[in-house]
Amino acid sequence: MTSVKQVQITFDCASPERVGRFWCEALGYVPPAVPEGFDTWDDYQRSLPSEERDAWFVASDPTGVGPRMYFQRVPEGKVVKNRVHLDVRVGTGLVGAERLAALEAECARLLPLGATRGQLLLADDKNESCLNMQDVEGNEFCLD
């Protein structure tokens, strides 16, 4: 049996570049190189027929360790809670006030990028604290 070597995470969205650039900033990922023959992504987008503009975007971990993220435009909007979400691991190994401070600091960094703060879930007997959030199109994720 063949084992999986890599995983790509795909987001359905209304504006792939907007959502993809948010996640590049959130995770320290990088966008793809500008296509050959173009000086900027805007130049490339303008060269496409209008229906093909902002149809996709890619975000990649510059170290090559994290999964590639692909953003594709779909006609329908998000209407219900995600069945799968990302946990952005900013508090790994931290507990108590130190963990809460790390979660709050990352939340404060992401809010100006267009994220929305959700509910802070405080530690209990089984889990450490985490903070629910949404990206620029309302996709849920957790600061963990």
CATH number of residue 20's parent domain: 3.30.720
Question: Are residues 125 and 97 located together in one domain of the fold?
Answer: yes
| pLDDT reading at 5 higher than 80 | no
The order of strands in the sheet holding 68-73 is 8-13, 68-73, 56-59
Q: Mean pLDDT for the chain?
A: 92
Grade residue 7 by pLDDT with cuts at 50, 70 and 90: confident
Q: Long-range contacts of range 115-124, CB-CB < 8 Å, 24 or more positions apart?
A: 115/22, 115/26, 123/95, 123/96, 123/99
Give 55's DSSP letter.
-
**110 within some domain:** yes
Residue 38, both tokens: 């173009």
For residues 97 and 117, give the distance between their C-alpha atoms in angstroms, rounded to a whole number. Answer: 19
* pLDDT recorded at residue 55: 93
pLDDT tens digits, one per residue of 21-34: 999 999 999 999 99
Which has the closest alpha carbon to 117: 95, 140, 85? 140
Q: What is the structure's pLDDT at 1?
A: 66
Quick one: average pLDDT of 89-101?
93
* Residue 102 and residue 53 share a domain: no
Q: Looking at residues 93-108, what average pLDDT do you find?
A: 95
99 shares a domain with 60 = no
Same domain, 69 and 16: yes
113: domain range?
A: 86-143
Same domain, 67 and 12: yes
| Domain annotation covers residue 81 | no
The answer to whether residue 19 sits within a structural domain is yes
60 and 101 fall within a common domain: no
CB 12 within 8 Å of CB 72: yes
Q: What is the pLDDT of residue 4?
A: 67
Exposure of 85 by Cβ count < 10 A (0-12 exposed, 13-18 middle, 19+ buried)?
middle
SS3 30: strand
How many structural domains is the chain composed of?
A: 2
Residue 69 · residue 58 · CB < 8 Å: yes
